[in-house]
Structure 1
Amino acid sequence: MFHPATATGSLGADLRALRKARGITLAELAADLGRSVGWLSQVERDLSQPSITDLRRIAARLGIPVSMLFGQAPAPAKEAGHIVRQGARRPIGSGAAGLVEELLSPDLTDDFEMVHSTFEPHSRIGEVVTRPTQEVGYLVSGRLDLVISGTRFTIHPGDSFRIRGEPFEWINPYDEPAVAIWVIAPPVY
Structure 2
Amino acid sequence: MLQTNPSSPDTLGADLRALRKSRGLTLMDMADGLGRSVGWLSQVERDLSEPSISDLREIAALLSVPISMLFRHEAAPAHEAGYVVRQGTRRPMGSHTAGLVEELLSPDLTDDFEMVHSTFEPHSDIGAPVTRPTQEVGYLISGRLDLEIGGKPFHIHPGDSFRIKGEPFRWMNPYDAPAVAVWVIAPPVY
Q: Deviations over 1:76-134 (max 9, x none)?
A: 00000100000000000011210000000000000000000000000000110011100
Residue 80 of structure 1 aligns with an amino acid whose one-letter code is A
Q: Are 1:76 and 2:80 an aligned pair? A: no
**Is the CA contact (8 Å cut-off) linking 1:72 and 1:90 kept in structure 2?**
yes
Could you tell me how far 1:7 is from its partner in structure 2?
Answer: 3.0
Could you tell me how far 1:32 is from its partner in structure 2?
Answer: 1.5
Give distance in 1, aligned partners of 2:114 and 2:88: 18
Q: Which residue of 2 aligns with 1:168?
A: 169
Query: Could you tell which deviates more after superposition, 24-33 or 49-58?
Result: 24-33
Q: Deviations over 1:45-104 (max 9, x none)?
A: 000000000000001011111111012211100000100000000000011210000000
- SS where residue 176 of structure 1 aligns? coil
TM-score (norm. length: structure 2): 0.95
Give distance in 2, aligned partners of 1:107 and 1:96: 24
TM-score (norm. length: structure 1): 0.96
**1:16-55 alignment to 2 at 5 Å?**
16-55=17-56
Residue 174 of structure 2 aligns with an amino acid whose one-letter code is P
- Give the root-mean-square deviation of aligned CA atoms: 1.0
Q: Are 1:106 and 2:107 an aligned pair? A: yes
**1:1-189 alignment to 2 at 5 Å?**
7-189=8-190
**Is the CA contact (8 Å cut-off) linking 1:7 and 1:71 kept in structure 2?**
no
- Percent of aligned pairs sharing the same letter: 76
> Structure 2 unaligned runs (5+)?
1-6
Q: Which residue of 2 aligns with 1:3?
A: none
Residue 81 of structure 1 aligns with an amino acid whose one-letter code is G
Give distance in 2, aligned partners of 1:118 and 1:18: 23
Give distance in 2, aligned partners of 1:72 and 1:152: 37
**Is the CA contact (8 Å cut-off) linking 1:121 and 1:175 kept in structure 2?**
yes
